[in-house]
Amino acid sequence: MSTASTDKNLAHLADFHDEVPLVKGNLKFHDITEIVSSHTEKKTPFAWYGAFSLALAGLMLLLGMIAYLFWNGTGVWGLNNPVGWGYAIVNFVFWVGIGHAGTLISAILFLFRQQWRTAINRSAEAMTIFAVICALVFPTIHVGRVWAIYWTLPLPNQMGMWPQFKSPLLWDVFAVSTYFTVSLVFWYIGLVPDLATMRDRAKGKIRRLVLGVASMGWTGANRHWRNYEKAYLLLAALATPLVLSVHSVVSFDFAVSIVPGWHTTIFPPYFVAGAIFSGFAMVVTLLVIARKIYGIENIITVEHLEKMNIIILLTGTMVGFAYITEFFIAWYSGVQYEQYAFVNRMFGPYAWAYWTMMSCNLFFPQFFWFKKLRRNVTFMFIISIFVNIGMWFERFVITVTSLHRDYLPSSWDYYTPTAVDALTFVGTFGLFFTLFLLFLRFMPMVAIAEVKGVMPEADPHFYDHEGDGHHAEHAVEPSTQQ
Amino acid sequence: MPQIFPRKANILPHLTLAGSLAGGVFAILFIWYYFSPEYTDVGYAPEQPIEYSHRLHAGELGISCQYCHTNVKDAAHSNVPATQTCMNCHSQIRTESLKLLPVRESWATGKSIEWIKVHKLPDYAQFSHAVHTNNGVGCESCHGRIDQMEVVFQAEPLSMGWCLECHRAPEQYLRPDDEITTMGYEYSDDFVEQNLQRINAEDIQPPTNCSACHY
């Protein structure tokens, strides 16, 4: 090798190392496999059982509340005229919103080659799927006659009837179910190489068989990787428009109606920004805890969290900007109903909810302008909780304050949720954490293969100058992904 | 490392694929047939408190439907006759019959006979017998050959799609006004043209909008 080319290689490697490394602690390929897989292989920790029982209790609460609802009908909720959409719709939008970070991280950041996504995409996608499951509970139980829920699907039926294709509620059915399907497939495809890793490490016969089936005969062959990469890219391209479309369609549920406070063209982008905002906040909430407990702070580093906090800052500010734009447009429209709807939000009977939303979503994320604060794990955890609360209140403000005082002052009312409303919502956290804890226990919570791909070791020339004895001058270079 | 699965497991992916295809088709056909009101509802024949035979009364004896179901042309609900109606004849005929004991009991005590409803519509579907029987829909069209039924059973699915079949093409089903209660009515060769003429003349427009029945 000539001196010139050696220098070039060295320069290239220097570039590679100049950036803050995505994986810290001087970990090697095998360490990543070891750290991530071991959590699924070791004996179940006592603390996991504790957390899981708590989550399971929440799930039982949810099932109990749903059974009570089915038996008695939707009268057990606080709904009445004029507020016909209460907690169920608020919670639906809340959970769907949370489900947006996963695909954004796995699809959009993938297409934009944001390599830092690799550490967090697996758990964010899992969170997405579980959040969408929680979201789907609500419209299902909200229909009242739940046994007729299949009417929302365009199936041939004895009624000779199609669903109402002109209704955004139907678009929602398609948007959310498509999103769920694509997210699930995307997540599973990404899991295949890691499941194969776990299969190869498996000790028990049953575990090996189960993982053998789940990893679909993956051998890590070049051909497998080619197909995998192609499928992953195509799915990313397919999922990308969904990130934008799903919450746009959810916003149509409101925007297509003529209720003042809902009938707004700004809703689709504003909802999408809010969804990404809340989704990232939830990822931060979950991962701050998970990385600590599972000891993967070298894989999900403070740099990763900081990047997410920057997105929280960005989208939070966008959402705040949308709040203010809504006010401007209400004033500028000259329509008294519009103007009243927004004045009523700020100073009406639900002003407390409005100002909770404003402070949690617009004000608190502004702290992330300070590098010190956005790298402070405790601080970001607190802010992420605030954002979760704020985004729930955003949906509450939009849904309830617009409905409780519309065109007819004679029917104005104050909506109060019942205990069943509140406990059902609490119950969905039980469902969510039941699924998430099962995921943490049985699945590789970090995309092992993908993290390896962004490590310095993945550089084909990594070993050129190490002189570690593994590689002679003319040896075949290691493959980028093992 | 040895393989986890034996060589013959290679057939599993193919079997899975074929199995899910076949299973999917099977599920569709299964639901299509067994979940339809044609399967679940048609043939419903509850045991009535009295062994009343429509075959005997309406068929053999030829009593008109309207002799008992008097309101059918005047009200939304077509009534089940009062005990009085039975006793019109049975105070004279078969007065000692054991089978008729509950009728006489009802007559003596004034307590109604609790007939069991056979033809049920959901609570959210509104149906008017008067509108239908005054516009050329025969009893037989919905209830079948009552004159041949020993025990009344549901002959038609009474599903919304079934209602719509006629609402969308009434000319295929209507009959002249004086044939409404006829059992085994035989359509003439040109009944469609006749019906179309009548539909035009009387401006019969069976609604197909939701609020026609759901209000």
What single string gives the DSSP state of each residue in B69-137?
Answer: -TTTTTSSSPPPPPHHHHHHHHTTSSTT-STTHHHHHHHHH-PPP-PPP-S---TT----HHHHHTTT-
Residue given tokens 């405790």 in the structure block: A378
A64 inside domain? yes
A44 vs B: CB within 8 A = no
Q: Do A159 and B5 touch (CB under 8 A)?
A: no
**Which of A158, A210, A216 best probes binding to B when mutated, by most B CB atoms within 10 angstroms?**
A158
Which ranges constitute the DSSP H helices of A29-86? Answer: 29-41, 46-72
Query: Which one, of A88, A98, A158, A160, lies nearest residue A128 by Cα?
Result: A98
User: Residue A158: which of B1, B5, B160 has the nearest Cβ?
Assistant: B160
A6 inside domain? no
Mean pLDDT of chain A: 88
Q: Are A251 and A347 in contact (CB under 8 A)?
A: no
Q: Do A158 and B4 touch (CB under 8 A)?
A: no
> pLDDT band at A12, cuts 50/70/90?
low
Query: Which one, of A346, A383, A347, A343, lies nearest residue A362 by Cα?
Result: A383
C-alpha A481/C-alpha A220 separation (Å) is 9
> pLDDT band at A157, cuts 50/70/90?
confident
Of chain A residues 127-186, which have a CB less than 8 A from chain B? 156-161
What is the length of chain B? 215
For residue B139, what is the enclosing H or E element? helix B139-143
Residue A364 scores a pLDDT above 60: yes
Number of other CB atoms surrounding residue B141 within 10 Å? 17
A467 inside domain? no
pLDDT of A244-268, one tens digit each?
A: 899 999 999 999 999 999 998 999 9
- Write out chain B residues lying below 8 Å of A167, CB-based: none
Q: Are A99 and A177 in contact (CB under 8 A)?
A: no
The fraction of chain B above a pLDDT of 90, given in percent, is: 89
- Write out chain B residues lying below 8 Å of A208, CB-based: 4
Q: Is the pTM of this model over 0.90?
A: no
For B3, the 3-state DSSP assignment is coil
CA dihedral over A362, A272, A151, A62, signed as positive or negative: negative
The pLDDT, as a whole number, for residue A1 is: 39
Please state the domain count of chain A: 1
pLDDT of A158-181, one tens digit each?
A: 888 889 999 999 999 999 999 999
A10 inside domain? no
The pLDDT, as a whole number, for residue A14 is: 47
Separation in Å, CA of B72 to nearest CA in chain A: 25
Q: Are A93 and A272 in contact (CB under 8 A)?
A: no
Q: Which domain holds residue A312?
A: 28-458
A329 inside domain? yes
Separation in Å, CA of B3 to nearest CA in chain A: 10
C-alpha B213/C-alpha B215 separation (Å) is 6
Residue A5 scores a pLDDT above 80: no
Q: Do A209 and B4 touch (CB under 8 A)?
A: yes
CA atoms within 13 A on the CB side of A271: 28
Name the more confident of B215 and A21: B215
A19 inside domain? no
A17 inside domain? no
C-alpha A178/C-alpha A248 separation (Å) is 14
The pLDDT, as a whole number, for residue A348 is: 93
- Of the listed ranges A463-477, B118-132, B198-212, the least confidently predicted one is A463-477
For A246, the 3-state DSSP assignment is helix
Residue A15 scores a pLDDT above 80: no
pLDDT of A412-459, one tens digit each?
A: 999 999 999 999 999 999 999 999 999 999 999 999 998 988 888 888
What single string gives the DSSP state of each residue in A279-310?
Answer: HHHHHHHHHHHHHHHTT-TTTS-HHHHHHHHH
Read off the CATH number of the domain in which A64 is found: 1.20.1630.10
- Six token digits for residue A143: 């229909």
- Write out chain B residues lying below 8 Å of A159, CB-based: 159-161, 164
Q: Respond yes or no on whether the N-terminal peptide bond of residue B46 is cis (omega within 30° of 0).
A: no
Paired strand residues for A80: A83
Q: Are A433 and A58 in contact (CB under 8 A)?
A: yes
Q: Are B34 and B149 in contact (CB under 8 A)?
A: no
Number of other CB atoms surrounding residue B171 within 10 Å? 17
pLDDT of B164-211, one tens digit each?
A: 999 999 999 999 999 999 999 999 999 999 999 999 999 999 999 989
pLDDT of A93-152, one tens digit each?
A: 999 999 988 888 888 888 888 888 888 999 999 999 999 999 999 999 998 888 888 888
CA atoms within 13 A on the CB side of A85: 20
The pLDDT, as a whole number, for residue A27 is: 83
A11 inside domain? no
Mean pLDDT of chain B: 93
Q: Are B157 and B36 in contact (CB under 8 A)?
A: yes
